[in-house]
A and B are shown apart, each in its own frame.
Chain A
Amino acid sequence: MQMNSAVARPTEAILQTNKLIKNTYMLLSMTLIFSGVTAFFSVALNVSHGIAFAASLVAIGLLWFALPRTQNSSAGIPVIFAITGLLGFGLGPMLSYYLSVNPSIVMVAMGGTGAIFLGLSGYALSTRKDFSFMGGFIFVGMLVAIGAMVANIFLGIPALALAVSAAVIMIMSGFILFQTSAMIHGGETNYISATAGLFISILNIFTSLLHILGAFGGDD
């Protein structure tokens, strides 16, 4: 009996991990498609910067205050779709700008973001390395990046903006490794919050990559 339970427990744990990863990637795919649709409507409607900013604010408000209260129930599903939909909608003016100057940049940034995400997730899943040691580094990095963003609103230095975009890509890439590893090693057990974390990482990588490609592509 003891042998059976000793064997059954890891098997159950493995099955739970596989289910968590499957559910997370399924929900992530659906939310990415949904945010793509809302971003398309935002571009088509030519929404103003103010409306896009308000949509992003509401999304972050839901992420901070509504998602933690609902993520353990089915109510978390509409909340995560609302968050990702609003964040996609908030991208409208930025996408309109880059589509008007050089549409290929948007496509390259989209493909590049997908490749970075799949590569890093695949790396964390295949090597099964534990990246929990990176938690402090990632969060401190986020604080430094936010501080630099605030400073650059007042300073307006283009090189600093590019450096922040590059740093954000590195930090969010680290976060993808951290989050994927947490799903494998039991640090993350909720597929809705895992999806939210990965979605935010992908979104930040996409916008930062768009900024860098726009600048170096000579059209920014």
Chain B
Amino acid sequence: MDWLQIASAVFLVAMFFMILPSAKRMVKESPKGTSSDWMGFVLPMAVVILFIILLIALV
């Protein structure tokens, strides 16, 4: 394991702890989505997945 991997791990752990308070706040304060709200998210995600599969087929 070289120093770059160790530095990357340290950096990612630091990032984890920088994001943690925002994540806690978001979980507490975010409104709860209804099933139709989640469907509005799932639909574009399904399109993104299909698009990536198409890109993989292209290369």
A residues contacting B by CB (< 8 A) are 49-50, 53, 57, 60, 64, 102, 104-105, 108-109, 112, 115-116, 119-120, 123, 127, 129-140, 142-143, 146-147, 149-150, 153-154, 166, 169-170, 173-174, 177, 209, 212-213, 216-217
Top 3 A-B pairs ranked by shortest CB distance? A133-B33, A139-B23, A136-B27
Docked-complex contact B47 and A135, CB < 8 angstroms? no
Least Cβ–Cβ distance between A56 and chain B, in angstroms: 8
- The number of chain B residues touching the other chain, given as a range, is 35 or more
Of B20, B37, B47, the residue contacting A143 (CB under 8 A) is: B20
Whole-angstrom distance between the Cβ of A164 and the nearest chain B Cβ = 11
By a beta-carbon cutoff of 8 Å, the part of chain B in contact with chain A is 1, 4-5, 7-9, 11-13, 15-16, 18-20, 22-23, 26-33, 37, 40-41, 44-45, 47-49, 51-52, 55-56, 58-59
User: When chains A and B are docked, how far (Å) is the Cα of A142 from the Cα of B18?
Assistant: 11
> How far does the Cβ of A208 sit from chain B's closest Cβ, in whole Å?
10
Contacts of B26 in A (CB 8 A): 135-136, 138-140
Q: Which of B1, B26, B51 has the most CB of A within 10 A?
A: B26
Q: Which residues of A have CB within 8 Å of B30?
A: 132-137
Q: What are 13 A-B contacts with C-beta separation under 8 Å?
A: A60-B15, A108-B55, A133-B37, A134-B30, A135-B26, A136-B30, A140-B23, A146-B19, A150-B16, A154-B9, A169-B52, A213-B55, A217-B59
Residues in A with CB closer than 8 Å to B16 are 143, 146-147, 150
The complex places the Cα of A174 from the Cα of B38 at a distance, in Å, of 11
CA distance A217 to B59 in the complex (A): 6
Q: Tell me the smallest distance from the CB of A126 to a CB of chain B, in Å.
A: 11
Question: Which of B8, B28, B47 lies in contact with A119, CB distance below 8 A?
Answer: B47
* B12 x A149 contact (CB < 8 A): yes
Q: How far is the CA of A138 from the CA of B30 in the complex (A)?
A: 11
Chain B nearest Cβ from A153, distance in angstroms = 5
The answer to whether residues A150 and B12 also contact, given A64-B18, A136-B30 and a CB cut-off of 8 A, is yes
Contact B19 A123 (CB under 8 A): no
With beta carbons under 8 angstroms apart, the residue of A53, A102, A120, A137 that contacts B59 is A102
